[in-house]
Every structure is written in C-alpha cells, then in structure tokens.
Amino acid sequence: MHLLQVQNGKTVRVIKINGGQGMVHKLHQLGLLPGDYARVLRHAPLGGPVMVEVGGRSIALGRGVASRIEVVDDGLEPI
Amino acid sequence: MRFALVGQPNCGKSTLFNQVAGYRAETGNFSGTTITYTSSKVRVLGEIVEVVDLPGTYALAGTNPAEREVLCYLLSNPVDVIINVLDASHLSQGLNLTLELLELGLPVVVAANMMDEAARLGITLDGVKLQVILGVDVLPLIASKGRGVRNLFKTALEAAASGKVPIRAQYSLDIETEIHRLAENLDGQSATIGPDSMAIKLLEGETTLFRRIEKQVPEINTLIQDSRNEIETKRGRPAIFALSAERHGLAAQYAKQVVHQGERRVSKRDQLDRIFLHPFWGYVALVAILWVFFQSVYHFGSIFEGPILAYADDLTRLLVAHIGQGTLLAEILTGVMQGISGGVAIVLPYLLPFLFGLGFLEDIGYLPRLAFMMDALMNRMGLHGKAIVPFILGYGCNVPAVMSTRLMEDRRDRFLAATLATLVPCAARLAVVFGLVAFYLGPQIALLIYLFNLLVIAATGRFLSHILPESAPGLILEMPVYRLPVLKTVLHKMWFRAREFIVEAWPLLIAGSVVLALFSWLELDHVINLISRPLTWLLGLPSEVGVPLMFGILRKELSLVMLRQALHVADFATALSPVQMISFTVFVVFYVPCLATLAALKRELGGRAMLAIALLTVLIAVGAALIARGVAMLFL
C-alpha cells in the first residue's frame, strides 16, 4: 500500500521510500523516514497533494511523492 | 563578537531577529551569490555584538541554494556562538538540526521558542532535562511577544565568552569508525570547525569545504569514497541518509524524554484548514483573497502614482528650462528624471503594498496553502505548487519573481518557473494593457488579453515540460500552523525585498532612460525602425512602432510613452486600428523581459539560460501576437 491509498484520519507506518536521492533527501529534512508514523490529514481536490502529519508537523506531499511512499497499517499509534 | 541565528523554517527565528535588530539591520550577500542574509549590531550587557540571521533550513545539508549557504557561512566565517531557535511545539523535528549544530564544535545556546503555542497544543517541555541531555543551555522564548529575549542574549554572551564547546552525540560504532578514519587526515584544515565535524560534513557530501581541503590533502577524495562505500554496504543506504537517520532516531528519543503531551485544546485556528483547504470553499476563498489583495494594491497605488508623476514632470520641466531646451544635457537630465520618477511611481505606490501583502500572506501561513490548492493545476504545466509564488510575484514585478525561484530545489524547476514568471504581465505591462487596450477598446478586451496570457503560459509550460522531463518528484512542503503575523517582521521583510528591487533594478531603469534620451537626441530612430521593419510588417504595425518596441526592453511601460512620441499623436485611435492595438499590446506583454529582469535571470540561472529565455519569449510573442491579430481581425 502507498500513501495515496490511505484514507483521511488514518495513521500508518512508513516502511519504504522508493524515490531518487533528491526526494529522499528532502523527506529526511522534513523528518519523514522509514519507521515513522504518519497520519493522513486530507487529500487535495483535482488530484492534488496529500497532507500528512508526522512528528507534529504537517507536510504536503505531491501525488508523485506520495505514491512512492510505501506504508502499512499496523494498527499502532505513535507515542 | 558574532552570534549566528540558526533554525528551521517557521521557527520564529526572524521574529527574534527583528525583536533585537530594529531598522538598523543590514543585508549582505553570501559571497558569489544573490542570496542575502541580514545582520545587525546589538548591544548586550554593554558589549556590541553582531547578530547574523541565517536563512531557515531543516538540516545543514540543504536541498536548495539558500539552505546550502547556512553551512557555507558557518564554515567560512568566525562565529562565537550559535543561537539555535527551536520550535517547542515540534521538538523532535527541530532537534534534528540541533544535533547537527552540536557537531560543529562551536558554542551553542538553544532557544525553545513558541512556548505559548506548545502550551496551546498541550505540550509541556522539561527544559532542565533537555539541557542535561544536550549539554548546552536551553532557554524558553516567546519571540513574538519579546519574552525571554534578554535572558537568551545574556546567556549567549556568556557561552561565547567561555568558548565552551558542546560534546556531540555519538553515532553507531561503524559510522564513528569512518568518522575517525577521515578525521585523522583533517587536523588543522579548518579555522572554524574541528576535524570530526569536517569528517561528518564531508561524508555527507559538503562541497565548499571539500574543494578547500582537496588542495591541501589530494588523497581526500579517495578516502571519502572508501568511507562512504563502507557505510553504504553495511547500511544499505547512502552515507548521508545513514547519518541523518541516526540523528532522526536520536532526536525522537530525546524528545520522548523531555516532551509531555497533555490534552490538546482545539482552537479556531485548527478549524481554518477546513475552509481554506476545502475542495469547493477553498477555491472560493483563494479567488477572494487574491482579488482583495490585487484590488487593494491597485487602489493604493493609483492614489499616489498620478501625483508623484505629475510632480516629477513639473520638476523636470523646471530643470530643463534652466539648462535650455534641446541641449544634450537637458535630454540626459530628462532621461535620468524619468528613470527616477518611474522607479518612485512603481516602487512606492505599487511594489511596497504588494510586498507587504505578500509578507502578510506568507507569515499568516496562507502561501503554503495556496501551493497545496494549486499543485494539481501547476502539475499540468510541469511544475509543482511551490511555483505559484514566483507567479504571483510576477504580477507585481518580474525581478523579485525571478529571485524567488531560488526557493525551489531543482534547477530544471527553477528554470521553468523563471521562464513562465517572465511571461506574467508585471505592473509596467499592466500600464500598457490599461493605457491602450482598456482605454480605447474597453476593459473586456483587456481582460481577454489577460486570459489569453494565462493560456499561453500554460501552453508554454506544457511544451517546456515535454522537452525538459521532470527530474524532481513533486511537491514536498511544510504546512506551518496559522499564526498572527508580527507587524515588525512583515514590514522588515517588505523593506528588504523592496531594497532588492531598488539596488538591482532601479539603476538599470535609470541607465535605460538615459540611453533612450541619447538615442532620440542623436536621431537614430529611423535606423532602428528599418532594422525592425520585418517584425513590424509581420505584425501588421506601422514601421514607427519599431523604436518603442526596441526600447520597451529597457523599460516596459516606456513602450507606451514612446509610442506616443513615435507616432506623433496624442490620441492613439487616429494612428492605430483596433487590430493593431491588440497585436502591439499582446507582443509587448510577451516579448523579452525588461533589462532588470534579464539581469536577475543571469544572476539566478546564468547567461545561457537568460539568452534562451529571451529568445523563447520573442518566439512566443510573435506567435501570440499573430494569433491575437488573426482572432481580432475576425471579430473587430
């Protein structure tokens, strides 16, 4: 499952990021790494970005980015 | 003594700076770049200290040019203490940067800012515990209200005076081994940071330091590569990510120890996104906000523009009468005065309120939301939501628009955004559209030209993104919480951005006017008209239009003033047909950005990109003018 397929309000765990160096670098900067929990806040209309909350910070991720972030719903919540 | 303010974007760092700096702050350029930082002399306990406000960055290994300058600055300038501003409401994220700063081997003081906001979110912070963990002073701060500022600077001064360097956190053993191996070869290579810090930064791919060290230690490249390979084979990811992942884990662990998450109070602010990011109401709000924004700028500007220009005209006439009409000196003086008054009439009435409004939207947190809402549309032009900022700026002036592209990570994105931004009709071109088309043919036609402009920009974007395939993955942007802007910060930002225009563009505006005056004095008009005849013929325009078109490159709004002189008429309707007015205006809207914009393009993207963009805009302008002419001939 990737981030685009997650419904609003759900918390999922990031397992893998299938992006190039530039994308992984930027995500590292904003503190979104494999192992982190991300809560999907909303999907923008017209095929726009996805807004997620990670580590208390809200981040907008374009569709191209979000589709490359593999996640699982392990039923756990971040502490 | 020098203090450097370092922090992540939206942490309130600039608010803190403005609390202490006042209006004596100065801007400086990072060497060899157009990226500016601000600094100010501040008196702390009787001592004069230079406080430098570095660009906000999430990590020291930046992904865009502005972010990269932070580390560059710290590596090449003596800094006595780093004041690390930390957003207390996102502690674990902010600590990523703090851990990096602690590695540099410079005294550090941590300011836990936005304690009020953290409290609102139900977060309590054990500052003493954090102080013990990090081994540096941690001070509470509410920069927006000026609380804790004095204490922070007092502590920073003490830290600087003691010169006590924090002990960095340790990485896993395998990474530490590589750090030590590299560090052994780096002793004494930097005056500002220690060998371990250099080793870490070199592993992460820092380039300025690398080039400097390579000259002294030629084998360093192989050593770095070996260490990187070692880490990559063990960790299965590049060294830079292995290191940042370790810091990320450590930061989260620290945060868990010192942050207590209590009950979160839901306030009105949390509800705002339900409107602003709503699939329907969000767009209604977007259009309303931009409409109010542009309307107020336009109305504010038009109150002042007329009187300023009239006053300047009177003054010019008075001066010319003194010197004697028709002399070379009088012509040059007229040119200089036109350049100065043109600048005053654009900058003061239009650019200042425009930049004020933009700073306000930025600080309240709306601009990232705009990027969020527009991302899908911008994608169709081969860009992502962030590129909306140069677009909006472009309607004011293309120069700041081009400069704002430096916030984008990818060179291809910067080029594309800058190209499209130069096609956006700035305030000067607005004058042509209004003065010619709206005045003689009605506002509806002017509106049609604006819509046509958007269409052409979109088509150009699509075309360019076909030949320049996307390399960056798309939008990755923080959505900061909504905050009430601090007036002082907004005014400051407005002033610094306006100053960029004044320093970069205004001198060129004046120089352009002087060249113009010289040409008309030397009566070189018909030579230019002859050269440009193929173009004017193609567009179905009289040959006299050549001069105004050529000189529109120097100053866009002059093409209208010059047109009046060139055609020797007061009323354009007697010399130009409606179709000619339309093809002239459309051509002016698109062709070659003005001299000041060209200079900005050259500085941001290089000479070749500038030439490519200039050539492209001519092609687009001819094509668009021909289409507009054809359509106009059908209907008018």
| Residue-wise pLDDT tens digits, B22-41 | 656 666 665 555 567 888 88
* Per-residue model confidence (pLDDT) at position B23: 58
Contact A42 B273 (CB under 8 A): yes
Q: Give A42's strand partners.
A: A51
CA distance, residue B371 to nearest chain A CA (Å) = 9
* B432/B454 Cα distance (integer angstroms): 17
* Type and span of the H or E element at B81: strand B81-87
Contacts of residue A60 in chain B, CB cutoff 8 Å? 368, 371-372, 375, 385, 475-479
For residues B340 and B633, give the distance between their C-alpha atoms in angstroms, rounded to a whole number: 39
Vertex B562 angle, CA B552 and B397, to 5°:
40
In B543-602, the residues whose Cβ lies within 8 Å of chain A are: none
Sign of the Cα pseudo-torsion (B370, B371, B373, B376, in order): positive
Q: What is the pLDDT of residue B227?
A: 93
Q: In what order do the strands lie in the sheet with B138-140?
A: B26-29, B36-44, B47-53, B2-7, B81-87, B108-113, B138-140
Distance from CA of A9 to the nearest CA of B (A): 14
Which candidate, B53, B52, B72, places its Cα nearest to that of B12?
B53
Nearest CB partner across the interface for A33, out of B245, B379, B480: B245
Of B26-40, B294-308, B436-450, B580-594, where does mean pLDDT reach its minimum? B26-40
Interface test with B, best of A46, A65, A69 (most B CBs within 10 A): A46
CB contact under 8 A, B90 and A46: no
Query: pLDDT digit string (tens) for B370-397?
Result: 999 999 888 888 888 888 888 888 887 7
B289 CB-near residues (< 8 Å, 6+ apart):
B361, B366
Per-residue pLDDT of B494-529, as tens digits, reads: 887 787 778 777 887 788 778 877 877 888 878 888
Interface residue A4 vs chain B (CB under 8 A): no
Query: Are A62 and B279 a contacting pair at CB < 8 A?
Result: no
Q: How far is B163 from chain A (nearest CA, A)?
A: 29
Average pLDDT over residues B454-463: 92
In this structure, what token pair is assigned to residue A74?
Answer: 């392990």
Interface of A with B in 16-35 (CB under 8 A): 19-31, 33, 35
Mean pLDDT across chain B: 87
Give me the percent of chain B exceeding a pLDDT of 70. Answer: 96
- Considering only CB atoms, A62 lies closest to which of B59, B279, B384, namely B384
Instruction: Judge whether B372 is closer than 8 Å to chain A, CB to CB.
Output: yes
B394 touching chain A per CB within 8 A: no
Distance from CA of B597 to the nearest CA of A (A): 29
Residues 239-268 of B with CB under 8 A from A: 240-241, 244-245, 248-249, 252, 256
Best mutation target, B121, B475, B481, B483, to test chain A (most A CBs within 10 A): B475
pLDDT 10s digits, B124-170: 999 999 999 999 999 999 998 889 999 999 999 999 999 888 989 99
Helix (H) or strand (E) holding B41: strand B36-44
Tell whether B90 lies on the interface with A, counting CB pairs under 8 A: yes
User: A78 — contact with chain B (CB < 8 Å)?
Assistant: no
- C-alpha count within 13 angstroms, C-beta hemisphere, residue B215: 7
Contact A29 B385 (CB under 8 A): no
Is B479's CB within 8 Å of A64's CB?
no
Let me know: does B136 contact B110? Beta carbons within 8 Å. yes
Q: How many CB atoms lie within 10 A of CB B98?
A: 28
Nearest Cα residue in chain B from A46: B376
Q: How much is the ipTM here? A: 0.93
Tokens 């992006």: give the residue: A19
Across B354-364, average pLDDT: 87
Contacts of B472 in chain A (CB under 8 A): 22-23
Tell me the nearest-neighbour CA distance from B594 into chain A, angstroms.
34
Measured between CA atoms, the residue of chain B closest to residue A23 is B473
Question: In the prediction, which pLDDT does B84 show?
Answer: 96
Of B273, B410, B481, the CB nearest to A22: B410
Q: Which residues contact B135 (CB under 8 A, 6 or more apart)?
A: B102, B166, B167
Rg (CA), chain A: 11
CA nearest to A22 within chain B: B472
- Digit-by-digit pLDDT tens for chain A (79 residues) are 999 999 998 999 999 999 888 889 889 989 999 999 999 999 988 888 999 999 888 999 999 899 999 999 887 765 4
The answer to whether residue A55 neighbours chain B at the CB level (below 8 Å) is yes
Residue A14's beta-bridge partner residues? A71
- Backbone angles phi and psi of B32, in degrees to 5: 75, 10
Nearest to B372 among A26, A51, A56 (CB): A51
Q: Which of B90, B474, B479 sits opposite A64 (nearest CB)?
A: B474
> Rounded to the nearest 5 degrees, what angle is found at the Cα of B488, between the Cα atoms of B486 and B494?
105
Please tell me which of the candidates B93, B277, B372 has its beta carbon nearest to residue A56: B93
- Paired residues of B112 in beta bridges: B86, B140
A39 touches chain B (CB under 8 A): no
H/E run at residue B40: strand B36-44
Interchain contact, B473 vs A47, CB within 8 Å: no
Mutate to test the interface with B, among A2, A26, A69 (most CBs of B within 10 A): A26
Strands B259-261 and B123-125: antiparallel
CA distance B368 to B481: 10
* The model scores a pTM over 0.90: no
